[in-house]
Amino acid sequence: MKKLAILVSGRGSNMSAIIDACEQDRISASVEIVLSNNADAKALSIAKEKRINTVYISSQTHTNPEQLDAVMRNTLLKHNVDLIILAGFMKKIGPKVLSEFEGKILNIHPSLLPKYGGKGFYGMNIHRAVVDAGDKESGATIHLVCGDYDDGKILAQETVTLNEEDTPESLAKKILKIEHGLYVKTIQEIIEERIIL
């Protein structure tokens, strides 16, 4: 049975989908720890209600970035995690965590990377850029995490089609809907070694 850490900053709908899938054996793993850099994240209270270990670590709890990175690495090591799942985690992963868990950190991003990724492409900015460009499709991407935002080997993608009436808000909803299933499926495929990291 693999052990997962989920890193969150916000509402945590992807986190909830992954927790549910673990509970229902659609993912052969257990969620050992939910880590947030935002004390007020809805995801943290959802995880606490589910009696999952939670931890809040941020630049406010640890003002020195190196120390913050080390505390994160030690927390993840303590829980013996096999995979680290970023689910709406909006901070860069530090070099200590990256080198300790190289090739074991996944992220989901709401665009068809490499399009609309990197600096400035977060939240509604992504979907606004897609709609403004007149793109006919967008989607979600799961990729390995390396040092840069939204970079790293692409592991899975799913496409949604835009229609004339789509707004950034409607597109965001459409994509979020497919993210949950895509993340659950991809994590299980990694565990079953049908996707090799």
Active site residues: 109
Q: Which amino acid is at 162?
A: L
Q: What is the rounded CA–CA span in Å between residue 101 and residue 104?
A: 5
Residue list 172-191, contact with ligand GAR (CB under 6 A): 176, 179
What DSSP letter does each residue of 31-87 carry, written as one string? EEEEEES-TT-HHHHHHHHTT-EEEE--TTT--SHHHHHHHHHHHHHHTT-SEEEES
Q: What is the rounded CA–CA span in Å between residue 29 and residue 190?
A: 11
Residue list 34-63, contact with ligand GAR (CB under 6 A): none
Smallest gap from residue 179 Cβ to ligand GAR (A): 6
Binding piece for ligand GAR, criterion CB under 6 A, among 13-21, 46-54, 59-67, 73-81: 13-21
Query: Is 10 one of the binding residues for ligand GAR (CB under 6 A)?
Result: yes
Binding piece for ligand GAR, criterion CB under 6 A, among 25-33, 57-65, 92-100, 107-115: 107-115
Q: Where does this chain bind ligand GAR (CB under 6 A)? A: 10-15, 87-88, 107-110, 122, 150, 176, 179
